[in-house]
Structure 1
Amino acid sequence: MSPARGMALKLFALFLFMVMASLIKASSSEVPSFQAVFFRSFFALPVIVIWLAARKELSTGLRTRSPAAHFWRGIIGTSAMACGFAALGLLPLPEVTAIGFASPLITVLLAAALLGEKVRSFRLGAVGIGLFGVLVILWPRLSLSPDKMNEAAMLGVVLVLASAGLRSLAQIHIRRMVQLEQTSAVVFYFSLTATLLSLFTIPFGWVMPSGPVLFMLICAGLIGGVGQIFLTSSYRFAEASVLAPFEYASMLYALVFGYVLFGEVPTGIMMIGVFIVTLAGALIIWRERQLGLARGKARRTMTPQG
């Protein structure tokens, strides 16, 4: 294990994902979200295949025991991606990123409901704090009078919340899948399924993008594929509990990219909400780490018979 290397890989992966999101946002005025999903997924496939071939895992890494599980993971993940991409065209990049932090909070609740995981009062309290932070971020949108309410922005809020919920559901599904499936297979078949599913939306508004937008979409797919590899690789060098706090580096990237590329300046209320959500996430991560250490200590003191 090399935690420093794992941290560096995770931070670089998140940077690449923010570059990808910026490219998708820049192209959103010209192409619909499902068309962007196609480019993001299709052009990630060769990157993933080359990576597996270089690791000599092409024959084993794509082996699957449950094609149906990959199909449903693809349905959920593709829907989440499409909602997120559509929201990027309607809301500032920092706001989309901040609201998206609701996903790990929702995952805690879904894990309790669908997987039967025990969620005690500490984590429930942290989830409540985090959801309050999301409400603070959304408050300027919700407090507008009906005649002043920006319908496009409200649709963006609905889409990014839907994306967060679907991503949480996908995480729960993946927790079940990885008990039987290799991570490489989960990554590859998701990109493949998303590519195929997005093709069914061709009759619903696909357009021929201009040269610059086409270039941005292709780059988004390639960069997204590379980012996925760096993210996956980061967990080879550090534990998930060590890397989890670095997820919030996405917010710093979003603030810089949003300001430099799109002239988006976050409001004070939004930053207060971001602080509350980040605090809640940090509490959950800390609690998960403490529970993990306790479980590890218990295993070390068990007799050989268990």
Structure 2
Amino acid sequence: MQPLKGILLKLVAVLCFITMSSLIKAGSAEVPPGQSVFFRSFFALPVILGWLALRGDLTTGWRVKSPQAHVWRGLIGTMGMGCGFAGLALLPLPEVTALGYAAPLLTVVFAAMFLSEKVGIYRLGAVFLGLVGVLIVLAPRLSTLGDDTMQVTEAVGAIIVLFGAVCAALAQVHIRNMVRSEQTSAIVFWFSVTSTLLSLLTLPFGWAVPSIPTVLMLITAGLIGGMGQIFLTSSYRFADASVVAPFDYASMLFALGIGYFIFDEVPTPQMLLGAAIIISAGVIIILRERHLGLKREAARSAKTPT
């Protein structure tokens, strides 16, 4: 394992995905979420194929050992993506980002449940603290429900984003399990193929004919999303899911800046408080992981004969 390399890859992936989300949000006024999923998935394929060509794996990089694992990854990943895109159309970018932070928190729990990764009381406590922060962000949406259509729409958007976070966490843990036997290139390639095909199922629910600027934004989102997917999948090859997941929190800085300067979105004090609590939980997990890593390294050194 190479935790530092995994962390760096995850940070690059975060930057790609927040940029992609901004482009998807900008185009959400003209196209439905299913159509956005299509653009993001289909136009990621040229990036992936170019990556395979550079690696010299164009003829072998897409081969799989467990087709069922790729189908499952595609289903849950596409559901998470679609929910996230739907939320971007209904809520401010920083709020969607903050609620999406439930994913890395849940990843810690799911990694312990499904991958038998050891998660001690400190990290479990940090997860609980982070979920309290998520509830603080979510509370205004649920406490102001009434006859106001906008309030109901925003509450539904928040619930959709949370469900997407659950799917994203399951997908991240599933990727961590898949990389033990599957090629990174195959995981990335077949996810884009699967999500492209699944997005076409939303055609009967109404696709739009967007303007040229919107088409260009969505194509760019797909290209950047393909790059982000490569970096994300690669990060789990070098570090445990519970190690790299907290670095999703770096996206809040980008989301606040883009939301304010591009979308004229001013975060509420309660949203910032909740996000700060979630980020604090992530820092606790990071520091605890570093402490445990130092202890493991010391133990290995003590066992090495001189």
1:280 paired residue number? 281
| Residue identity opposite 2:52 in structure 1 | L
| Residue identity opposite 2:285 in structure 1 | I
Q: How much does 1:116 deviate?
A: 3.6
Change (3 A) 1:278 1:226: same
Deviation string, structure 1 residues 242-272 (Cα, Å, up to 9, x no partner): 8666432210100011111110001111111
Deviation string, structure 1 residues 173-200 (Cα, Å, up to 9, x no partner): 1122111011121111111111111112
1:133 aligned onto 2:133: yes
Question: How high is the TM-score relative to the length of structure 1?
Answer: 0.88
| Residue identity opposite 2:224 in structure 1 | I
2:123 paired residue number? 123
Q: Which moved more, 1:235-244 or 1:45-54?
A: 235-244
2-structure distance, mates of 1:45, 1:118: 36
Change (3 A) 1:174 1:20: same
Q: How much does 1:289 deviate?
A: 3.0
2:101 paired residue number? 101
Deviation string, structure 1 residues 123-167 (Cα, Å, up to 9, x no partner): 211111000011111122222253457011001101110110000
Contact 1:126 1:283 in 2 (8 A): yes
Task: Give me the CA root mean square deviation.
Answer: 2.9
Change (3 A) 1:236 1:201: closer
**Percent of aligned pairs with the same residue?**
62
Q: How much does 1:19 deviate?
A: 1.9
1:199 paired residue number? 200
Structure 2, unaligned runs of 5 or more: none
Q: Report the count of equivalent residues.
A: 304
2-structure distance, mates of 1:117, 1:10: 19
2:163 paired residue number? 162
| Residue identity opposite 1:33 in structure 2 | P
Change (3 A) 1:176 1:228: closer
Deviation string, structure 1 residues 21-73 (Cα, Å, up to 9, x no partner): 11111111221111110110000001111111012122332221011100110
Change (3 A) 1:65 1:239: closer
What pairs up with 1:207-246 in 2 under 5 angstroms?
Answer: 207-231=208-232, 246=247
1:190 paired residue number? 191
Contact 1:62 1:188 in 2 (8 A): yes
2-structure distance, mates of 1:5, 1:122: 24
Contact 2:176 2:237 in 1 (8 A): no
Q: How much does 1:297 deviate?
A: 4.2
Q: Which moved more, 1:138-147 or 1:179-188?
A: 138-147
2-structure distance, mates of 1:166, 1:114: 14
Contact 1:41 1:191 in 2 (8 A): yes
Contact 1:126 1:280 in 2 (8 A): yes
2:250 paired residue number? 249
1-structure distance, mates of 2:224, 2:218: 10
2-structure distance, mates of 1:164, 1:131: 12
Contact 2:145 2:151 in 1 (8 A): no
1-structure distance, mates of 2:261, 2:276: 22
1:17 aligned onto 2:17: yes
Question: How high is the TM-score relative to the length of structure 2?
Answer: 0.88
1:90 paired residue number? 90
Q: Which moved more, 1:187-196 or 1:230-239?
A: 230-239
Change (3 A) 1:128 1:6: closer
| Residue identity opposite 1:214 in structure 2 | V
1-structure distance, mates of 2:76, 2:145: 34
What pairs up with 1:62-77 in 2 under 5 angstroms?
Answer: 62-77=62-77
Contact 1:241 1:289 in 2 (8 A): no
What pairs up with 1:49-64 in 2 under 5 angstroms?
Answer: 49-64=49-64
